[in-house]
Amino acid sequence: MKIKVSDRLSSTSEYYFSLKMNEINKKQAAGIDVINLAIGNPNMRPADSVIEKLKETVSKPDVHGYQHHRGQLKLREAFAKWYNQNYGVELNPENEVLSLIGSKEGIFHVSFALLNPGDKVLIPDPGYPMYRFVAAMMQAEPVFYDLKEENSWLPDLEKLESKIDDKVKMIWVNYPNMPSGESATIEFFTKLVEIAKKHDVLVINDNPYSFILNKTEPLSILSVPGAKEVAIELNTLSKSHGMAGWRVGMAVGNPEVLDLMLKVKSNLDSGIFLPVQEAAIEALTIGQGWYEDLTAIYLERQEAAKKFAQVLGCTYSENAAGMYLWAKLPENVTNSREFADSLFEDKHVFVAPGTLYGSNGEGYIRISLCQPVEKIHEAIERVQE
């Protein structure tokens, strides 16, 4: 069929990890075991009580229909209580919480709701590739701002502000940061909110990593007084509660923006399956011991990943949060993608090249902590051999 590709997709390629997974599947089919230390797919199950709640609810006869797009009030109340307990942020569950089928869809919804062709979006470099992809889909112009190791992977706010003109609608930030693992401070968020108010732009903090190896208290941009006037935050149970495949997330903050997102969402899906909502409520009520156990598992994996980085000749930050280790390649390595491809072909170990996240990712690789520690040790042995 000779069908012309839409302009939205003409400059967009298939997601890098999707392509790589095809290669991995071919190698696995040929009997080659590939250790995947690239993709951030949490491999731990939720708490037992969460699974039991799903089983209990799914057996009821009246829970299988379409659900409200905003999410049932009980779930939004649970989100609000969780935010208050962990971030010290008060939210009105009626209009300041919007449930999402995973926070990834929120990136699309807010962009679809606000961006017109020709609008501009400030995007971190390095940063999550979805920000660039969605801007391209909306035919908006991505304007990249630098994150550098020498500035602890925080932007120079004066330089960032200098990039704002009348066409800039949104600023994406992501702390704790992916891929670097750096955390933000309340002082940083406060200055960023001031800039957003001055220029009347929306700030979106993508915040899925607060509870994994975070050496500071979980921090929300909404902790800044008055932030709800110009900011929303995306969050998810994927990483914090081992529920990646369950697809439960939230957008919180500015109620006008959430209402616009709801207009998009209500035309695209039919809500979260009710038993999943009930299980999510259970997940949001489990005690602090869950997060401590989660930290212990990821800490063991992080220590193994550090050893893996060392045998590759890499260096890394000791302060990284999240489920990745952002490793700096040896000085004599000039191309991170060639380095990652060589490791993949020669040792059958898959790591993510830093350039996947932007030009400032050159010279780095991202090592995922989403494999059992035994697999990371096996990767070390392969490289040492």
| pLDDT < 70 positions in the chain | 1, 9-15
Joined together, the tokens standing for residue 198 give 């001055």
| Cis, peptide link before residue 176, omega less than 30° from 0 | yes
Alpha carbon distance, N-terminus to C-terminus of the chain: 50
Joined together, the tokens standing for residue 319 give 């302060």
DSSP 16: H
Q: Any idea where the domains of the chain sit in the sequence? A: 7-45+289-384, 64-285
Q: How many CA atoms lie within 13 A of 212 on its CB side?
A: 32
The listed CATH number (3.40.50.1100, 3.90.1150.10, 3.10.20.30, 3.40.50.10860) that belongs to domain 7-45+289-384: 3.90.1150.10
Widest pairwise Cα distance in the chain: 63
Tell me if 93 sits within 8 A of 104, measured CB to CB.
no
pLDDT at 284: 96
CATH tag, 64-285: 3.40.640.10
Tell me if 249 sits within 8 A of 104, measured CB to CB.
yes
Structural Rg of the chain based on CA atoms: 21
Distance separating alpha carbons of residues 219 and 94, to the nearest angstrom:
23
Nearest to 353 by CA among 345, 344, 362: 362
pLDDT at 310: 96
pLDDT at 12: 61
pLDDT at 13: 58
pTM over 0.85: yes
